[in-house]
Structure 1
Protein backbone atom coordinates (compact mmCIF):
# COMPACT_ATOMS: atom_id res chain seq x y z
CA UNK A 1 0.00 0.00 0.00
CA UNK A 2 1.27 3.45 -0.97
CA UNK A 3 1.34 6.06 1.81
CA UNK A 4 2.61 9.61 1.75
CA UNK A 5 5.89 10.02 3.66
CA UNK A 6 4.59 13.05 5.57
CA UNK A 7 1.50 11.09 6.61
CA UNK A 8 3.82 8.54 8.22
CA UNK A 9 5.92 11.27 9.83
CA UNK A 10 2.94 13.19 11.21
CA UNK A 11 0.96 10.19 12.39
CA UNK A 12 -1.34 9.01 9.60
CA UNK A 13 -3.58 10.21 6.81
CA UNK A 14 -6.88 12.06 6.76
CA UNK A 15 -10.33 10.67 7.48
CA UNK A 16 -12.33 9.12 4.65
CA UNK A 17 -14.99 11.11 2.80
CA UNK A 18 -18.26 9.33 3.59
CA UNK A 19 -21.60 8.94 1.84
CA UNK A 20 -23.80 7.42 4.55
CA UNK A 21 -27.28 8.29 3.29
CA UNK A 22 -28.97 8.88 -0.05
CA UNK A 23 -28.84 12.56 -0.93
CA UNK A 24 -25.45 13.28 0.64
CA UNK A 25 -23.39 15.47 -1.68
CA UNK A 26 -19.87 16.81 -1.29
CA UNK A 27 -18.24 19.55 -3.36
CA UNK A 28 -14.51 19.68 -2.61
CA UNK A 29 -11.26 21.01 -4.02
CA UNK A 30 -8.56 18.50 -4.93
CA UNK A 31 -5.71 19.16 -2.50
CA UNK A 32 -3.03 16.90 -4.04
CA UNK A 33 -2.39 14.71 -7.04
CA UNK A 34 -4.18 11.33 -6.74
CA UNK A 35 -2.28 8.26 -5.55
CA UNK A 36 -3.11 4.56 -5.74
CA UNK A 37 -2.98 1.60 -3.39
CA UNK A 38 -4.14 -2.00 -3.20
CA UNK A 39 -7.57 -2.53 -1.70
CA UNK A 40 -7.76 -4.42 1.60
CA UNK A 41 -10.48 -6.54 3.15
CA UNK A 42 -12.65 -4.43 5.47
CA UNK A 43 -12.51 -6.96 8.30
CA UNK A 44 -9.14 -8.72 8.00
CA UNK A 45 -7.19 -5.86 6.37
CA UNK A 46 -5.60 -8.46 4.07
CA UNK A 47 -4.71 -7.23 0.54
CA UNK A 48 -7.41 -8.08 -2.00
CA UNK A 49 -6.74 -9.65 -5.40
CA UNK A 50 -8.68 -10.61 -8.51
CA UNK A 51 -9.22 -14.31 -9.39
CA UNK A 52 -6.09 -14.23 -11.57
CA UNK A 53 -3.98 -13.06 -8.61
CA UNK A 54 -3.54 -9.46 -9.75
CA UNK A 55 -4.08 -6.81 -7.03
CA UNK A 56 -7.36 -4.93 -6.73
CA UNK A 57 -6.36 -1.29 -6.90
CA UNK A 58 -8.05 1.90 -5.75
CA UNK A 59 -7.43 5.60 -6.32
CA UNK A 60 -6.97 7.91 -3.32
CA UNK A 61 -7.77 11.61 -3.71
CA UNK A 62 -7.01 14.15 -0.95
CA UNK A 63 -9.76 16.77 -0.80
CA UNK A 64 -10.16 20.09 1.00
CA UNK A 65 -13.68 20.17 2.43
CA UNK A 66 -15.77 22.28 4.80
CA UNK A 67 -16.32 19.27 7.06
CA UNK A 68 -15.06 19.46 10.65
CA UNK A 69 -15.07 16.86 13.43
CA UNK A 70 -15.94 18.62 16.73
CA UNK A 71 -14.02 15.92 18.60
CA UNK A 72 -10.81 16.85 16.75
CA UNK A 73 -9.76 20.47 17.32
CA UNK A 74 -7.00 20.16 14.73
CA UNK A 75 -9.35 18.95 11.97
CA UNK A 76 -8.59 21.11 8.93
CA UNK A 77 -11.27 19.54 6.73
CA UNK A 78 -8.95 17.36 4.67
CA UNK A 79 -10.65 14.13 3.64
CA UNK A 80 -9.59 11.17 1.50
CA UNK A 81 -11.86 9.94 -1.26
CA UNK A 82 -11.38 6.24 -2.00
CA UNK A 83 -12.37 5.62 -5.61
CA UNK A 84 -13.20 1.94 -6.04
CA UNK A 85 -16.15 -0.06 -7.28
CA UNK A 86 -17.54 0.36 -10.77
CA UNK A 87 -20.40 2.69 -9.77
CA UNK A 88 -18.23 5.42 -8.23
CA UNK A 89 -15.32 4.85 -10.62
CA UNK A 90 -17.46 5.16 -13.75
CA UNK A 91 -19.37 8.19 -12.47
CA UNK A 92 -16.13 10.10 -11.78
CA UNK A 93 -14.47 8.89 -14.98
CA UNK A 94 -17.38 10.14 -17.07
CA UNK A 95 -17.44 13.47 -15.21
CA UNK A 96 -13.73 14.02 -15.90
CA UNK A 97 -14.16 13.15 -19.57
CA UNK A 98 -17.18 15.44 -19.87
CA UNK A 99 -15.12 18.33 -18.44
CA UNK A 100 -12.49 17.90 -21.15
CA UNK A 101 -9.74 17.09 -18.63
CA UNK A 102 -7.31 14.19 -18.83
CA UNK A 103 -7.70 13.27 -15.16
CA UNK A 104 -8.16 14.62 -11.64
CA UNK A 105 -5.54 17.23 -10.70
CA UNK A 106 -4.69 19.54 -7.81
CA UNK A 107 -6.98 22.57 -7.77
CA UNK A 108 -9.85 20.86 -9.55
CA UNK A 109 -13.32 20.88 -8.00
CA UNK A 110 -15.11 17.56 -7.62
CA UNK A 111 -18.78 17.14 -6.72
CA UNK A 112 -20.13 13.70 -5.86
CA UNK A 113 -23.71 12.89 -4.88
CA UNK A 114 -25.04 9.59 -3.53
CA UNK A 115 -28.31 9.45 -5.46
CA UNK A 116 -29.77 5.96 -5.03
CA UNK A 117 -29.23 2.27 -4.30
CA UNK A 118 -29.05 -0.25 -7.09
CA UNK A 119 -30.57 -3.76 -6.97
CA UNK A 120 -28.85 -6.05 -4.49
CA UNK A 121 -27.28 -9.28 -5.73
CA UNK A 122 -27.40 -12.53 -3.80
CA UNK A 123 -25.15 -12.34 -0.74
CA UNK A 124 -24.19 -8.71 -1.40
CA UNK A 125 -25.51 -5.37 -0.19
CA UNK A 126 -27.17 -3.00 -2.64
CA UNK A 127 -24.58 -0.94 -4.56
CA UNK A 128 -24.59 2.81 -4.08
CA UNK A 129 -25.25 4.84 -7.24
CA UNK A 130 -23.54 8.20 -7.73
CA UNK A 131 -23.67 11.31 -9.87
CA UNK A 132 -20.46 13.30 -10.34
CA UNK A 133 -19.28 16.63 -11.71
CA UNK A 134 -15.69 17.81 -12.23
CA UNK A 135 -14.31 21.29 -12.91
CA UNK A 136 -10.62 21.27 -13.96
CA UNK A 137 -8.19 23.61 -12.16
CA UNK A 138 -7.39 27.02 -13.58
CA UNK A 139 -3.97 27.48 -15.16
CA UNK A 140 -1.96 30.67 -15.58
CA UNK A 141 0.03 31.70 -18.65
CA UNK A 142 1.96 34.99 -18.54
CA UNK A 143 -0.27 36.33 -15.80
CA UNK A 144 -3.50 35.34 -17.57
CA UNK A 145 -5.65 32.82 -15.73
CA UNK A 146 -7.88 30.47 -17.68
CA UNK A 147 -9.59 27.16 -17.25
CA UNK A 148 -7.47 24.11 -18.00
CA UNK A 149 -10.35 22.76 -20.11
CA UNK A 150 -13.49 24.32 -21.60
CA UNK A 151 -16.16 24.61 -18.92
CA UNK A 152 -19.53 23.08 -19.85
CA UNK A 153 -22.40 25.47 -20.48
CA UNK A 154 -24.29 23.86 -17.61
CA UNK A 155 -23.27 21.60 -14.71
CA UNK A 156 -22.40 18.17 -16.08
CA UNK A 157 -23.89 15.29 -14.16
CA UNK A 158 -22.19 12.09 -15.28
CA UNK A 159 -23.17 8.48 -14.74
CA UNK A 160 -21.97 5.30 -16.38
CA UNK A 161 -25.06 4.17 -18.24
CA UNK A 162 -26.96 4.25 -21.51
CA UNK A 163 -29.80 6.59 -22.55
CA UNK A 164 -33.11 5.82 -20.82
CA UNK A 165 -35.31 3.46 -22.83
CA UNK A 166 -38.48 5.04 -24.19
CA UNK A 167 -40.58 2.42 -22.39
CA UNK A 168 -39.33 3.65 -19.02
CA UNK A 169 -39.77 7.33 -19.83
CA UNK A 170 -43.38 6.72 -20.88
CA UNK A 171 -44.26 5.63 -17.35
CA UNK A 172 -44.19 9.26 -16.21
CA UNK A 173 -46.16 12.30 -17.25
CA UNK A 174 -44.97 14.18 -20.38
CA UNK A 175 -41.78 16.06 -19.63
CA UNK A 176 -41.08 14.14 -16.43
CA UNK A 177 -39.58 10.80 -15.40
CA UNK A 178 -40.97 8.37 -12.86
CA UNK A 179 -38.99 8.02 -9.63
CA UNK A 180 -37.18 4.62 -9.67
CA UNK A 181 -37.50 2.23 -6.70
CA UNK A 182 -35.01 2.95 -3.93
CA UNK A 183 -34.82 6.70 -4.62
CA UNK A 184 -36.34 9.21 -2.20
CA UNK A 185 -39.19 11.00 -4.08
CA UNK A 186 -38.45 14.30 -2.41
CA UNK A 187 -34.81 14.22 -3.49
CA UNK A 188 -35.79 12.95 -6.96
CA UNK A 189 -37.76 16.13 -7.61
CA UNK A 190 -34.63 18.24 -6.99
CA UNK A 191 -32.35 16.33 -9.39
CA UNK A 192 -31.53 17.80 -12.82
CA UNK A 193 -33.27 16.09 -15.78
CA UNK A 194 -29.95 14.65 -17.01
CA UNK A 195 -29.36 12.94 -13.66
CA UNK A 196 -32.92 11.60 -13.59
CA UNK A 197 -32.49 10.15 -17.07
CA UNK A 198 -29.20 8.52 -16.05
CA UNK A 199 -30.69 6.92 -12.95
CA UNK A 200 -33.75 5.60 -14.82
CA UNK A 201 -31.44 4.08 -17.42
CA UNK A 202 -29.19 2.57 -14.75
CA UNK A 203 -32.15 1.03 -12.94
CA UNK A 204 -33.53 -0.42 -16.18
CA UNK A 205 -30.16 -1.83 -17.23
CA UNK A 206 -29.61 -3.51 -13.86
CA UNK A 207 -33.13 -4.98 -13.91
CA UNK A 208 -32.38 -6.48 -17.32
CA UNK A 209 -29.07 -7.86 -16.09
CA UNK A 210 -30.36 -9.13 -12.72
CA UNK A 211 -34.11 -9.79 -13.17
CA UNK A 212 -36.12 -10.42 -10.04
CA UNK A 213 -36.67 -14.08 -9.29
CA UNK A 214 -40.31 -15.31 -9.17
CA UNK A 215 -41.66 -15.85 -5.63
CA UNK A 216 -42.28 -19.55 -6.39
Structure 2
Protein backbone atom coordinates (compact mmCIF):
# COMPACT_ATOMS: atom_id res chain seq x y z
CA UNK A 1 0.00 0.00 0.00
CA UNK A 2 1.33 3.44 -0.87
CA UNK A 3 1.30 6.45 1.44
CA UNK A 4 -1.89 7.99 0.09
CA UNK A 5 -3.80 4.72 0.32
CA UNK A 6 -2.69 4.35 3.92
CA UNK A 7 -3.70 7.93 4.69
CA UNK A 8 -7.13 7.72 3.05
CA UNK A 9 -7.86 4.20 4.24
CA UNK A 10 -8.14 2.68 0.76
CA UNK A 11 -7.31 -0.95 0.25
CA UNK A 12 -6.27 -0.56 -3.36
CA UNK A 13 -7.83 -1.81 -6.56
CA UNK A 14 -9.37 -5.30 -6.74
CA UNK A 15 -7.02 -8.20 -7.36
CA UNK A 16 -6.63 -9.31 -10.98
CA UNK A 17 -7.97 -12.82 -11.46
CA UNK A 18 -6.75 -15.49 -13.87
CA UNK A 19 -9.39 -18.23 -13.54
CA UNK A 20 -8.74 -20.16 -16.75
CA UNK A 21 -5.94 -20.56 -19.29
CA UNK A 22 -6.16 -17.89 -21.94
CA UNK A 23 -7.27 -15.17 -19.50
CA UNK A 24 -5.58 -11.83 -20.20
CA UNK A 25 -5.42 -8.93 -17.76
CA UNK A 26 -3.70 -5.68 -18.59
CA UNK A 27 -3.79 -2.03 -19.50
CA UNK A 28 -2.02 1.22 -18.75
CA UNK A 29 -0.13 1.29 -15.46
CA UNK A 30 -1.85 3.92 -13.34
CA UNK A 31 0.50 4.27 -10.37
CA UNK A 32 4.09 3.43 -9.46
CA UNK A 33 4.52 -0.33 -8.91
CA UNK A 34 5.02 -1.30 -5.27
CA UNK A 35 7.17 -4.06 -3.76
CA UNK A 36 5.67 -5.75 -0.71
CA UNK A 37 5.93 -8.97 1.22
CA UNK A 38 3.63 -11.84 0.32
CA UNK A 39 1.00 -12.96 2.80
CA UNK A 40 -0.64 -16.28 3.41
CA UNK A 41 -4.07 -16.40 1.81
CA UNK A 42 -5.68 -18.12 4.79
CA UNK A 43 -4.01 -16.51 7.80
CA UNK A 44 -2.87 -13.23 6.30
CA UNK A 45 0.54 -13.68 7.94
CA UNK A 46 3.67 -12.62 6.10
CA UNK A 47 5.45 -15.35 4.20
CA UNK A 48 9.14 -16.26 4.44
CA UNK A 49 11.48 -18.58 2.60
CA UNK A 50 13.05 -21.51 4.40
CA UNK A 51 16.18 -19.46 4.97
CA UNK A 52 14.19 -16.76 6.75
CA UNK A 53 14.21 -14.21 3.93
CA UNK A 54 10.85 -12.56 3.19
CA UNK A 55 8.94 -13.67 0.12
CA UNK A 56 8.42 -10.51 -1.89
CA UNK A 57 6.11 -9.62 -4.76
CA UNK A 58 5.54 -6.70 -7.10
CA UNK A 59 2.10 -5.09 -7.15
CA UNK A 60 1.19 -3.40 -10.44
CA UNK A 61 -2.09 -1.50 -10.82
CA UNK A 62 -3.41 -1.36 -14.38
CA UNK A 63 -6.46 0.20 -15.98
CA UNK A 64 -8.53 -2.56 -17.57
CA UNK A 65 -11.89 -2.64 -19.33
CA UNK A 66 -13.25 -5.11 -16.77
CA UNK A 67 -16.28 -4.20 -14.68
CA UNK A 68 -17.59 -6.35 -11.85
CA UNK A 69 -21.22 -5.61 -10.94
CA UNK A 70 -20.51 -6.92 -7.45
CA UNK A 71 -18.01 -4.08 -6.86
CA UNK A 72 -19.51 -0.66 -6.16
CA UNK A 73 -18.30 2.03 -8.55
CA UNK A 74 -15.87 -0.34 -10.23
CA UNK A 75 -13.53 1.83 -12.31
CA UNK A 76 -11.78 -1.12 -13.97
CA UNK A 77 -8.46 -0.83 -12.12
CA UNK A 78 -6.91 -4.14 -11.13
CA UNK A 79 -3.84 -5.08 -9.10
CA UNK A 80 -1.59 -7.71 -10.62
CA UNK A 81 0.53 -9.49 -8.02
CA UNK A 82 3.73 -10.33 -9.85
CA UNK A 83 5.54 -13.26 -8.27
CA UNK A 84 6.84 -16.73 -9.06
CA UNK A 85 6.89 -17.62 -12.75
CA UNK A 86 4.89 -14.49 -13.59
CA UNK A 87 7.82 -12.41 -12.35
CA UNK A 88 10.09 -14.07 -14.89
CA UNK A 89 7.53 -13.51 -17.67
CA UNK A 90 7.16 -9.81 -16.85
CA UNK A 91 10.94 -9.35 -16.59
CA UNK A 92 11.36 -10.96 -20.02
CA UNK A 93 8.69 -8.61 -21.44
CA UNK A 94 10.49 -5.56 -20.04
CA UNK A 95 13.79 -6.70 -21.52
CA UNK A 96 12.14 -7.40 -24.87
CA UNK A 97 10.84 -3.82 -24.88
CA UNK A 98 14.38 -2.51 -24.19
CA UNK A 99 13.03 -0.83 -21.05
CA UNK A 100 14.63 -0.48 -17.63
CA UNK A 101 11.49 -1.39 -15.73
CA UNK A 102 7.77 -0.80 -15.37
CA UNK A 103 6.58 2.81 -15.28
CA UNK A 104 3.36 4.76 -15.02
CA UNK A 105 1.82 5.17 -18.47
CA UNK A 106 3.33 1.95 -19.80
CA UNK A 107 1.09 -0.89 -20.88
CA UNK A 108 1.44 -4.28 -19.19
CA UNK A 109 -0.57 -7.29 -20.31
CA UNK A 110 -0.32 -10.70 -18.65
CA UNK A 111 -1.77 -13.91 -20.06
CA UNK A 112 -2.34 -17.17 -18.18
CA UNK A 113 -1.16 -19.74 -20.71
CA UNK A 114 -1.27 -23.15 -19.00
CA UNK A 115 -0.54 -25.09 -15.83
CA UNK A 116 2.94 -26.26 -14.99
CA UNK A 117 4.04 -29.46 -13.30
CA UNK A 118 2.50 -30.28 -9.94
CA UNK A 119 5.48 -30.67 -7.61
CA UNK A 120 3.76 -31.33 -4.30
CA UNK A 121 0.74 -33.50 -3.59
CA UNK A 122 -2.17 -31.48 -2.32
CA UNK A 123 -1.01 -28.31 -4.05
CA UNK A 124 -2.37 -26.98 -7.32
CA UNK A 125 -0.13 -27.02 -10.36
CA UNK A 126 1.61 -23.67 -10.74
CA UNK A 127 0.09 -21.35 -13.32
CA UNK A 128 2.33 -20.33 -16.19
CA UNK A 129 2.20 -16.87 -17.72
CA UNK A 130 3.47 -14.80 -20.60
CA UNK A 131 3.58 -11.02 -20.64
CA UNK A 132 3.93 -8.09 -23.01
CA UNK A 133 5.09 -4.61 -22.07
CA UNK A 134 4.96 -1.31 -23.96
CA UNK A 135 7.01 1.55 -22.46
CA UNK A 136 5.20 4.78 -21.62
CA UNK A 137 6.73 6.78 -24.49
CA UNK A 138 5.67 4.21 -27.09
CA UNK A 139 2.23 3.87 -25.49
CA UNK A 140 1.72 7.62 -25.72
CA UNK A 141 2.52 7.58 -29.44
CA UNK A 142 -0.04 4.83 -29.95
CA UNK A 143 -2.74 6.98 -28.37
CA UNK A 144 -2.07 10.02 -30.55
CA UNK A 145 -4.44 10.51 -33.50
CA UNK A 146 -2.97 9.94 -36.91
CA UNK A 147 -1.72 13.11 -38.57
CA UNK A 148 -3.89 14.41 -41.38
CA UNK A 149 -2.16 14.06 -44.72
CA UNK A 150 -1.55 17.42 -46.45
CA UNK A 151 -3.65 18.18 -49.47
CA UNK A 152 -2.00 17.04 -52.69
CA UNK A 153 -0.78 19.91 -54.92
CA UNK A 154 -2.36 20.30 -58.36
CA UNK A 155 -1.56 17.35 -60.57
CA UNK A 156 -0.15 19.71 -63.19
CA UNK A 157 2.78 20.47 -60.90
CA UNK A 158 3.88 16.85 -61.26
CA UNK A 159 3.27 16.69 -65.00
CA UNK A 160 0.22 14.47 -64.61
CA UNK A 161 -2.10 16.75 -66.59
CA UNK A 162 -1.37 16.87 -70.31
CA UNK A 163 -0.79 20.23 -72.00
CA UNK A 164 -3.98 21.86 -73.16
CA UNK A 165 -6.10 20.42 -70.32
CA UNK A 166 -7.40 22.66 -67.55
CA UNK A 167 -6.04 21.09 -64.27
CA UNK A 168 -9.11 22.25 -62.32
CA UNK A 169 -12.00 21.51 -64.68
CA UNK A 170 -10.36 18.86 -66.86
CA UNK A 171 -11.62 20.62 -70.00
CA UNK A 172 -9.58 20.64 -73.20
CA UNK A 173 -8.42 24.22 -73.74
CA UNK A 174 -6.07 23.79 -76.69
CA UNK A 175 -7.08 23.16 -80.27
CA UNK A 176 -6.52 19.62 -81.47
CA UNK A 177 -4.68 18.98 -84.78
CA UNK A 178 -6.69 18.12 -87.82
CA UNK A 179 -8.15 14.64 -87.72
CA UNK A 180 -8.16 14.37 -83.90
CA UNK A 181 -10.98 15.17 -81.54
CA UNK A 182 -10.09 16.82 -78.19
CA UNK A 183 -10.14 13.52 -76.26
CA UNK A 184 -7.81 11.84 -78.76
CA UNK A 185 -5.52 14.87 -78.60
CA UNK A 186 -5.34 14.71 -74.78
CA UNK A 187 -4.51 10.99 -74.92
CA UNK A 188 -1.80 11.58 -77.51
CA UNK A 189 -0.22 14.27 -75.32
CA UNK A 190 0.29 11.71 -72.57
CA UNK A 191 2.13 9.28 -74.85
CA UNK A 192 5.82 10.27 -75.15
CA UNK A 193 6.01 8.55 -78.54
CA UNK A 194 3.31 10.78 -80.04
CA UNK A 195 3.56 13.99 -78.00
CA UNK A 196 6.55 15.30 -79.98
CA UNK A 197 4.78 14.65 -83.28
CA UNK A 198 1.77 16.72 -82.29
CA UNK A 199 3.78 19.92 -82.54
CA UNK A 200 4.42 19.19 -86.24
CA UNK A 201 0.71 18.79 -87.07
CA UNK A 202 -1.22 22.00 -87.77
CA UNK A 203 -4.12 22.63 -85.41
CA UNK A 204 -7.63 21.87 -86.49
CA UNK A 205 -9.41 25.08 -87.49
CA UNK A 206 -12.35 25.93 -85.30
CA UNK A 207 -15.60 27.68 -86.14
CA UNK A 208 -15.17 31.28 -87.30
CA UNK A 209 -17.07 34.02 -85.56
CA UNK A 210 -20.14 34.97 -87.54
CA UNK A 211 -19.58 32.26 -90.18
CA UNK A 212 -20.45 28.66 -90.91
CA UNK A 213 -18.31 25.83 -89.54
CA UNK A 214 -16.06 24.22 -92.18
CA UNK A 215 -17.00 20.94 -93.82
Q: Same fold (TM over 0.5)?
A: yes
CA distance in 2: counterparts of 1:83 and 1:10, whole angstroms: 23
- Report the CA distance shift for 1:73/1:122 in structure 2 as closer, same or farther (over 3 A): closer
Contact 2:26 2:62 (8 Å CA) reproduced:
no
- Report the CA distance shift for 1:100/1:14 in structure 2 as closer, same or farther (over 3 A): same
Name the one with the larger strand percent: 1
4+ aligned runs moved over 6 Å, structure 1: none
User: What is residue 18 of structure 2 aligned with on the other side?
Assistant: 19
Deviations 1:129-154 (A, max 9, x none): 11111110017xxxxx769xxxxxxx
Match among 95, 98, 101 for residue 96 of structure 2: 98
CA distance in 1: counterparts of 2:78 and 2:25, whole angstroms: 11
Q: How does 1:7-156 map to 2 (within 5 A)?
A: 7-8=5-6, 9-85=8-84, 87-123=85-121, 124-138=123-137
- Higher gyration radius (CA): 2
TM-score by length of 2: 0.61
Q: What is the root-mean-square deviation in Å for CA atoms of aligned residues?
A: 1.7
Aligned to 1:15, the other structure's residue is in SS state coil
Residue ranges of structure 2 left out of the alignment (5+ in a row): 143-215
- Report the CA distance shift for 1:14/1:27 in structure 2 as closer, same or farther (over 3 A): closer
CA distance in 2: counterparts of 1:84 and 1:93, whole angstroms: 11
